[in-house]
Amino acid sequence: ASRILEGHFEPLLYIAVEYCFANNFKLAADFLTDAAQVAGANALVMHEQAATAFMENDFKKAEQILMEALRLLVVHAVVVVVVDDSDPSVGGQQSVEQLMAAEVSDFWEPLYNNLGHVLRKLGRYTDAIHVHRKSLLLSVAKADAWACLGVCYASLAGTKFTANANTEAAKLAAQATEAPATT
Per residue in 11-67, pLDDT (tens digit) is 899 999 999 889 999 999 999 999 999 888 899 999 999 999 999 999 999 999 999
pLDDT at position 82: 44
CA distance 39 to 8: 7
Mean pLDDT over the full length of the chain: 82
pLDDT at position 182: 54
Of residues 128 and 178, the one with the higher pLDDT is 128
